[in-house]
Amino acid sequence: MRHFRLISSLLVALGLVAGILVGATAPAQAAPKKVPAAKLLAKLKVAPERRAWSYDRSDWDHWVIKKGSCDTRETVLAEESRRKVTKRKDCSVVSGRWVNEYTGRTVTSPRTLDIDHRVPLAEAWRSGGYRWNAAKRRGFANDIGYRHSLVAVGRYINRKKSDQDPADWQPQVGKCRYVARWIAVKYRWSLTVDPVEKRALVHRLGVCGKAKTMVEKPSKGKPEKKRTKPKKKRGGGGGGGSVPPISAWNCPSSHPIKGNASSMIYHVPGGRYYSRTKPEECFATESAAQAAGYRRSKV
């Protein structure tokens, strides 16, 4: 009996040691697989841009609810901040620390930031997105599944970039990573490249070299269904929170202030660009728009 107990104790001890060794040698979570951007570029179809005349930004549903009450913009701001962000109860981001990928400058106020579609919506439309249904356009416009699709950058540089491709615009810093990530996003969504764009990309890849243009290989992008759960209204009290527009161009008379969520700028009746602005949110008062993180248009 004594021998049996001794053998049993030894077996238990060996089992514990084996478990410890297995745990100690278990591989860490694999890092995203990186591939040469040139390899992804070779898989993209070359074709002229089409249907530019029919592009309409309002056809691309953004920013949609992603996590809890947080929409795409708020989710990207939280994920890209170099420190934990401060939020209001409605999830709007108040502060953090971001490094502008296009300039290298550090930013602490989210009000100065846009969420840029690395491949602009208009560029996606011209590159094959005009064939997509609403769900796929929504998936592209709110793509947080691949970290290079959306990026928090300064408003000025985002306006300067506009809807241009790398043949016409590249950032002040990080040109190599920019074109590599541009290619990866086009690969993710099976978009085309036009001949001039292709030449510009090939040239930049050649200048940068393979080592500087390695990029995480993305999975293919997926459509996104429209969520029926409404987002909690933001803004001041007294009925001043945001409400949806009543048409592509108009806000209800009770909430006449037009908010553009992509730029976080609001327009008041009588303003120079008021009649030309397609609202994404509507507010009753300027203070409500400001409480939601918007700033007034300067014109």
Helix axes 195-208, 175-188, angle to 10 degrees: 130
Q: Where are the alpha helices (DSSP H) in 26-120?
A: 37-41, 72-80
Range in 6-15, 238-247, 282-291 the model is least confident about: 6-15
Delimit the domains of the chain by residue range.
34-216, 233-299
At 28, the pLDDT band (50, 70, 90 cuts) reads low
Residues 6+ apart with CB under 8 A from 197: 165, 166, 167
Q: Return the closest-CA partner of residue 155 out of 122, 106, 116, 105.
A: 116
At 255, the pLDDT band (50, 70, 90 cuts) reads confident
Range in 16-30, 155-169, 203-217 the model is least confident about: 16-30
* pLDDT at residue number 299: 67
pLDDT at 97 > cutoff 80:
yes
The model's pTM: 0.71
Strand runs labelled E in 178-245: 214-216
Say how far apart CA 7 and CA 1 lie, in whole Å.
Answer: 10
pLDDT digits (tens, 9 = 90+) for 132-161: 999 999 999 999 999 999 999 998 999 899
